[in-house]
Structure 1
């Protein structure tokens, strides 16, 4: 069945007509700007479509940027955490070294007589025998250390050398029950003997007459008798005095001036007389 409007111009004629009209419209718009207003409206209608077309790309770019930024922040945070830990460790070392330097300064600035040679030693070990208070230091015969040599810390007398090896020595502390040291009271010049009581925080003073001029808080200094410990170094401070007339002597206890439970650096002393005797 043939339709009424089935026949018309050929495809070539239609293409030629379309090209002619397009060129004519382009020339008309170029010469007279006849479609300026229409173009504005068309651009307004098309612009939302352009935004929609660009939206997936923008989303991908934004997401990629955020992922890169997040990864960078994670890496930077990890690096900062690592650096902070390193700085913390260094700060701890600096704090430790600062305290050690302060101890050494106090030790070297302790009131040592001008005619006395001194040498700094370091604690190596502590005797684990509960009935003996001895320590081991890192100086020995090669450093001219000798038995009976006085040992101090930055506050007062610690004890004396009792055994010498080539590179280390053993020190008998004031607190040992076998140790005694002659002292005098700084206030009254009364002479006494201080002995170890087996405790690092306490010493005792035997054979003190009830009439002795001694008070709680008196400072006890080495008297120099016996020629082991030099005269005038702090030894202990009187802690308690019990005068019981039923007993022949007063019961007196004292607290050592040296920090016997916190020893780290020690000072070995040679008097001028000792140096001459050992030459």
Structure 2
């Protein structure tokens, strides 16, 4: 295979060329976002077969391990097990919504004489790979535009919100995780409705909770759920649990760290929520209860 640079090329020249190319690509992404997005979509479609092939060893290992553990069923049982796992995941996502609503309903019982469960269309997906960039927290899933996936759609595992879709190819999509430093999500304390923002820190098990006043009613162990503000994430789904609270009298806000409820490091199957009811429908429901 022909090398990219000649053997006698200086390290500084190589660095200069690569740095220049990086700057040009960044500039093009800013100036011609539609063109770059189309190129990214085309590239993801071309690379999708390669990603599938790269995922084969892990899949073969998983099937072989199961076959050795359960030789009486063999490979034939794997399809049934996969279907059962998908069903369990779907039920767990519905269950977490109900658990979060249980506490909320105690506060809203005086306002509403009855409650209405809100469901959205969703699709199951598998994580194909993890971004190797140490400064980003992203994963690739095996669903794309042919499955009606769109940028901004929320992604959950069986335990809570994991992130949202940022780039969509024909057969695969890139998902930014909650823990990415460039990601933030509106949340509220499930116990009392206190609203705030959860922002990624770059660490796999840490979220920074912003703008909590020193005298706020918040404590270690509180569950944070999505508030629905902004319209990107559906309300009421688990996001994180408060793990530490530090008070600095010289600062107006608390230093709060939370741990995501989603199993970001280990979950393989996820749910992508494709649509949610218009917020005006929810407002109409509330008005009918007055």
TM-score class, shorter: 0.5 to 0.7
Q: For the Cα contact (< 8 Å) 2:149–2:168, is it kept in 1?
A: yes
Q: Deviations over 1:76-97 (max 9, x none)?
A: xxxxxxxxxx865636967977
Shift of 1:169: 0.2
Higher strand share: 1
Q: Deviations over 1:42-73 (max 9, x none)?
A: xxxxxxxxxxxxxxxxxxxxxxxxxxxxxxxx
| Paired residue total | 189
The answer to whether 1:172 aligns with 2:176 is yes
Flag structure 1 segments of 5+ consecutive residues without an equivalent: 1-85, 275-279
Flag structure 2 segments of 5+ consecutive residues without an equivalent: 1-66, 98-116, 279-290
In structure 2, distance between residues paired with 1:98 and 1:239: 38
The SS at the match of 1:121 is strand
Q: In the alignment, what sits opposite 1:90?
A: 71
In structure 2, distance between residues paired with 1:126 and 1:234: 23
Shift of 1:248: 2.4
**2:132 maps to which of 111, 124, 128:** 128
Q: TM-score, normalised by structure 2?
A: 0.60
Residue 118 and residue 255 in structure 1: after superposition, are their counterparts in 2 closer, same or farther (change >3 A)? same
Name which one, 1 or 2, has greater alpha-carbon Rg. 1
The answer to whether 1:119 aligns with 2:123 is yes
Q: TM-score, normalised by structure 1?
A: 0.63
Shift of 1:158: 0.4
The answer to whether 1:207 aligns with 2:211 is yes
In structure 1, distance between residues paired with 2:79 and 2:207: 33
**2:194 maps to which of 183, 190, 194:** 190
The answer to whether 1:107 aligns with 2:89 is yes
Q: 1:1-279 to 2 correspondence within 5 Å? A: 90=71, 103-109=85-91, 110-111=93-94, 114-273=118-277
Q: For the Cα contact (< 8 Å) 1:103–1:154, is it kept in 2?
A: no
